[in-house]
Each structure stands twice: as C-alpha cells, then as structure tokens.
Amino acid sequence: MLNVPAIFASNVFNDQVMRTRLSKAVYKQFRRTIDQGEPLDMVTADFLANAMKEWAIEKGATHYTHWFQPMTGSTAEKHDSFITPSPNGMAIMDFSGKALVKGEPDASSFPSGGLRRTSSARGYTAWDPTSYCFVKGGSLYIPTVFVSYTGEILDKKTPLLRSMEALSRVAVRFLRIFGNENVTRVTTTVGAEQEYFLIDKAMWDQREDLILTGRTLFGAKPPKGQELDDQYFANLRPRIAAYMADLDEELWKLGIYSKTKHNEVAPAQHEMAPIFTTTNLGTDQNELAMEVMEKVALKHGLVCLLHEKPFEGVNGSGKHNNWSMSTNDGQNLLDPGDTPMENLQFLTILCALIKGVDEHADLMRLSAASAGNDHRLGADEAPPAIISMFLGEELDAVLQAIEDGTAYRTQVREFEIGVNALPSFPKDSTDRNRTSPFAFTGNRFEFRMVGSSDNIACPNFLLNAIVAEELSWFTEKLEPFAGTEGFERAVKDLLREVLQKHRRIIFNGDGYSEAWVQEAARRGLPNYASTVDAMPHYTDEKNVELLSKFGIFTPDEVKARTEIHLEKYSKTLRIEARTMVEMARTQLIPATLRYVRELCDTLALKKQLGYSAFTEDELARKLSDLADAFYISAQELEQRVNRACEVKEILEQARFFHDHVLDEMERMRTISDTIERIMPRDLWPIPTYSEMIYNV
C-alpha cells in the first residue's frame, strides 16, 4: 500500500529538508530572503549549494540544471555534472553557490521579438529561491528566471514575480486604510485544473498531424461522441486508472498536491486538479505536471494530448485558473464571509476587480490567446471570447443594494433533498456558470478561458497587474478618509460610482447564447474572436502604461511579446497547413484513388458479366470528384501558405494566415472527412476518431 505522507515531496529540497540540512543561521538567512526579499549573500549561497548537492547525490543525481520557461511555450534545461577535476587526476563532486545562483545559456536561439540579434548570444539564468529545487531523472533542477545580457526579459516567470511583488506592495498599503496593521505581505494563489486527452500510442504513431501539431487536422465525427454525457465522471477504465495512480505518485514525489482526478465530458478526456498554492510555485508545478503527465503516459503505452482542441466536434481542454489573494496572517481576501454586505474590505476588492476587468478586458482576452485556443473558445463548455464576470445572485444583489443605497439582508438557505434519511446542508450562495470566462466561485475567481497547454504565468501576471492598478486607485481615493468617521460613507460612495460605470462587465446568464453576443455589443464590451484580433491590443497605450508603471515590462518588451505571440500564431498555422498538404498527397489522396481504381475494376467486370454495377458506379463517381476537389484544395492551400510567408510585417502575416489560410484548411478538411465516411475502414490509412477515442 502506498504511503503518501512518506513519499510526498521526497524529491523536493523543501523547507523540511532545509531545516535538517542547514545550520540555524544559514536557514534563518535563507528564510529572510524568501519571506522578506533580502538579497542572498554568496556565503549563504555556498552553504545552500553544498547541502543541495549532497542531498541530490543521495537521491541519485549526477547533474544539475537551471530550469527556465522561455517564450517557446515549454520549459528549457541544460545539464551540467557535479564532476570537478581533482589534483590526483581523479574527480570530485562539487557545486558552488555561484553555480547555484547563475547560469549562462545561449539567449539568441530563443524567441525574443527582436530584442536580441543572433550575433548577440549571451543570456543569464538566475535562481528563484521562492520556488523549491527538486530531483528528477538524475539531475537537480533549479527553478530560474531567464534574461538577456542587456537585461531584457526573455521568459515567462520574471514578469510573474514582478507582478506578485507589485501587487503585494499595493495591497498591503490598501489594507492599511481598512485598519489592518499586521499584514506585511499579500500573496496571490492559484490552483490550475488541468484537462487532457489520452489515446493509444499505436494510434498516435500513425497520425502525422498529432505528431507534428498536437491535434487532428483530419477526422470525421464518429457516430457517437459525447451526446449521452456518459463519459463525465464515469467509472475509470482499468488502463486509465493505472495511469492516474502512477501519475499521482510521481506528482506527489515532486511535492505537487494532485488532489482530484476524473473523466471529463468528452470521450478519452480527463482532468487532474491540484490544491491551491502560491502563484509562482503553482506555475512551476503546472509546467512540471504537464511534462510528467506526458512521460507517465508513455509508460502505459498511451500519449497525453495537451492541445486545446485535439478532436473536432467534442469538448476541448482548458486549464481553469482559480485565482485568489492571501495575506501572511492567513486571510483570504476574496472570502466574503457570512455577511458580505457588512464586509466592506471584501466589497471594495470585488469592485476593484470589476473595474479592472472592465477596463482591461483586452488584456484578459489576449492572456489566453493562441492558435490552439481559438478552436476551443465559444463552444463545448469553453467560455466565449467576450470577457465578462459572473458573481451569482447574492453578490449581485449586494452590489445592487450598494448602488441603490438600500439595505440587504443576507439569506441563509438550507438545501433540502426531500428524503428523510438524508441530511440538509447549507446551500451555496451562488451556482456555477460554466459559460463565464471569469466567475466568482465562493472565495476565488475562476478564469476558465486559459487553454490546456498554456503557461499560466501569462494570465496571472496580467491579472496581478490589473488588480495592483485598481487597488492603487482605490487607495489613493480612500486614504484621505482612513480613520475618520466618514470612511464608511466614502467607501460606499466610491463603490457606487464604480458600479454605475462598470456594472456592464457583470453577466450571470448564458454566455453561449446569441442574445448575449448582441447584448455585449450593446454594452460596448469588446469581442475579440481570434488571437489576431486580440493580440495587437497588448501595445495599446493604456496597457503599456500599466505594465511599465509596475516595472513588469518596458515598452520595448511589451512590443516584443506581441511580436512573439503573433509570430508563433503564424508558424503554428503554417506547420498545420503544410502537414495537411503532405498527409493529403502522400496518404489520403493515394488511398482514395486506389479504392476508386478497385471500384472501377469491379465495375468493368460486373458490366462485362451483365450484372448491375449501380453502387460501384455511384461510389466511383463520387469519390473521383471528391479526390479531384481534395487535390485542388491541397494545391490552393500550399499556394496560400507560400503567399502568407511572403508577407513580411508580422501582424499582417498573421492576419493573412487567419483570413486566407484557415478557411482553406477548413475546406480541405471537410472534403477529407466526407471521403473518410465513404471509404472502407481497412483502406483508410490513418486511425479514425472512433478508433482513437474509444480504444483506451
């Protein structure tokens, strides 16, 4: 039987390990670095490095690596051994504080948005002591940030750390005006629910589209999809259960609080949800979890698909980003308490969020924008591209009472099932809205728009920056009234002013309805349907000012991020389109033509014998016409890709891919899927949806 407490975090150099391996003086100094942001001196770093090395070697490590998160969309690592030459021609295992705190990878080969030339190669990784080191695969992993020689940010972690510092600084000042003198630090927390698909590796090996792009570019919808809702929370198949058990064990060893596992709505779709932790650590752990999920799957003869829409016609996969704020004295700042009407601090923070999300809906939208997520948003339980906030009936009524200047009486409701043997229990103050991009769920906000393959650093640092801006604004407005008799009245007057201006962002209804699209337009809410629509707003003046104000990005870095995202969008579509052309020419069209020839041979023979050949004639004519259309579409798609690549300006190229390449890809897929429905199963050269999503 697995002893979970015994193995949990057994591969992590965490606080418990540090207490046993470091002297009290070194431990206290290191804790001051983590808790208070004091610089780490090299003497302390040397002691830490030696303790880490000894511990890692005991765990079987021979190397160390600075583990970072460049703008590629995945993590990066370069491994160096602990081996150091000794005077007698032998080797010793050594690891210095200098090697711990700084590394030097090549900065020119990672996306930089023009910040670095190919000839300017030097870059630095710097240890992030607020995230624990761990051992995996024979190496000591050291979480780091990644910057260029000239100081430009080249990773996704640095802006997150900066945003957390900014929000903490502003939030502490904000809490002072509400009389909270004990709080010295505010930390954002996150729990990222991770959805994913599992398919048999033998099937994956036969699908060039899955191998190269992560999603199926061709594939007819099977006779049975998710219509019966019989997959959701269903009994786990033995193979899936075995995978999930191994996954939990590996995640627990790495200190990841894997809490929940279940089947999701679509066939072959599943979910892993962790317990909340600090946003910095939660981001690292989610990146690590995705890697572990893929590697554990291979051990079971499976492939874990993290693409947002690997299969057309069934639910895509998201990564619900559950976000909140906590103080160092244990308060959850998004907990309304039993009487939200009387919790003035909570209501002010809530209104700060309402104002921030309304003013920066463009940043919220682009934080989850990608070519993959564009296929998912707006359908099959993914929220629409229109940013709105769901608060639920009670909170909405509380805010309405503030706006109207009337009293609100909190209602305590019991949920009665109507069976005497079953107990009644308190009913939650709000239902869940699965169509809302940003929904309040009791003591946190769930940002449901984030894609399953996304690094959650981006949505979280932008959310942190937005909240920091709004709390700063509220603080400046309310500080003159702090400690006075008129403070409560000043707060309520300000909340009323904010609600009257920004209530338009609150929507508690069905986000999928066409009526909401029309209503959102009437309210003046932006609707950025695609990445190409959303991403250019990164460099809007108000957004550049926001990110510069809190030292998260320079204007040049904002511009670089925009270019990196748009360039990745174009490259993704280029790879997908070229994969479609190759699969069509080398697999699908030849298979179709072989069957047409077989039909024609049969047709000729039956006519020679005087038999009816109606079926063969009809099928041969239909497939021949479809094959011609398929070939012509492949030719057209190739030409459009070539024309797109000739467009030099990054935004215009992305628009060309969106406007002219995507529609031909969809046309080509429609033709192929029609052919697939006619072709005999044994002659179709790639596994079908039915084979892939039900053969696990």
Start-end ranges of CATH 3.10.20.70 in the chain? Answer: 4-155
CATH class of 4-155: alpha beta
Helices and strands counted in the chain (H then E): 25, 20
Decide which of 3.40.50.2300, 3.40.50.1820, 3.30.590.10, 3.40.50.300 is the CATH code for 164-553: 3.30.590.10
Residue 424 has pLDDT above 80, yes or no: no
- Of 584, 492, 479, 502, nearest in space to 209 by CA: 584
pLDDT value at 109 more than 90: no
Q: Any idea what DSSP says for residue 506?
A: B
Q: Mean pLDDT highest for which of 77-81, 103-107, 512-516?
A: 77-81
Partners of 390 in the β-ladder: 439
Say if residues 196 and 304 touch (Cβ distance below 8 Å). Answer: yes
Where are the CATH 3.30.590.10 domain residues in the chain? 164-553
**Residue 93 β-bridge partners:** 83
Q: Which residues pair with 81 in a beta bridge?
A: 63
**Start and end residues for every CATH 1.20.120.1560 domain found in the chain:** 568-694
Instruction: Output the pLDDT for position 409.
Output: 62
Mean pLDDT, residues 404-420 taken together:
59
Q: Provide the pLDDT for residue 624.
A: 97
What gap in Å lies between CA 358 and CA 389, rounded to an integer? 9
pLDDT in tens, 512-543: 888 999 999 999 999 999 999 999 999 999 99
Q: Does 86 score more than 60 pLDDT?
A: yes
pTM: 0.93
* Spatial distance between the Cα atoms of 685 and 687, rounded to a whole number of angstroms: 7
User: What CATH class does 568-694 carry?
Assistant: mainly alpha
d(CA 508, CA 361): 17
Per-residue pLDDT, 225: 83
DSSP annotation of 215: S
540-570 pLDDT, tens per residue? 999 999 999 999 999 999 999 999 999 999 9
pLDDT tens for 290-314 read 999 999 999 999 999 999 999 999 9
Q: Is the pLDDT of residue 429 over 60?
A: no
Segment 441-459, tens digit of pLDDT: 889 999 999 999 999 999 9
Output the pLDDT for position 403: 80
Q: Given this model, what pLDDT does residue 120 score?
A: 65
| 360-371 residue pLDDT tens | 999 999 999 999
425 confidence band (pLDDT: 50, 70, 90): very low
What are the tens digits of pLDDT across the range 610-641?
999 899 999 999 999 999 999 999 999 999 99
pLDDT above 90 covers a percentage of the chain that reads: 76
- Percent of the chain beyond pLDDT 70? 94
Collapse the DSSP code of 155 into the 3-class scheme (helix H, G, I; strand E, B; otherwise coil) and give the result: strand
Residue 169 — very low, low, confident or very high, per pLDDT cuts 50/70/90? very high
